[in-house]
Amino acid sequence: MSCIIHTKGLTKTYKRFEKESGLLGSVKSLFNRKFVTKTAVRDFDLEIQEGEFVGLIGPNGAGKTTLVKMLTGIIAPTYGEISVLGYYPNKLENGLKTQYAIVMGQKSQLFFELTPADTFLLFKELYGLSDDEFKRNLTFFVEMFGVSDLLDVQVRTLSLGERMKMELIVALLHNPKVLFLDEPTIGLDATAQRQIRSFLQNVNKERGTTIILTSHYMEDIISLCHRCVVINRGEKVYDGELSILLNQFQTHKKITVNFEQPSDIELPHEARIIENNPYKLSVMVSKSKAQDLMGMFMSRYSPADITAEEEDIGSVIERIYAYRKEETI
Question: Going by DSSP bridges, is the β-strand pair 305-310/252-258 parallel, antiparallel, or unpaired?
Answer: antiparallel
- Of residues 223 and 52, more confidently modeled: 52
Give domain limits for the chain: 50-77+92-248, 252-310
Please enumerate in sequence order all residues whose Cβ is within 8 A of that of 309, keeping only pairs 6 or more positions apart, or say none.
Answer: 253, 254, 255, 256
Is the pLDDT at 115 greater than 70, yes or no? Answer: yes
pLDDT score, position 327: 54
Q: Report pTM.
A: 0.79
Any idea which fold 252-310 has?
Alpha-Beta Plaits (3.30.70)
SS3 state of residue 146 = coil
Q: How many whole angstroms separate alpha carbon 189 and alpha carbon 276?
A: 25
Q: What are the backbone angles phi and psi of residue 285, rounded to the nearest 5°?
A: -145, 155
Q: Which CATH number fits domain 50-77+92-248: 2.60.40.10, 3.30.470.20, 3.40.50.720, 3.40.50.300?
A: 3.40.50.300
> Mean pLDDT, the chain, as a whole number?
88
pLDDT score, position 328: 44
Q: Which of 21-30, 86-95, 295-304 is predicted least confidently?
A: 21-30
pLDDT score, position 215: 83
Q: Binning pLDDT at 50, 70 and 90, where does residue 324 land?
A: low
| Residues 250-303: tens digit of each pLDDT | 888 899 999 888 877 778 778 888 888 888 999 999 888 898 889 988 888 888
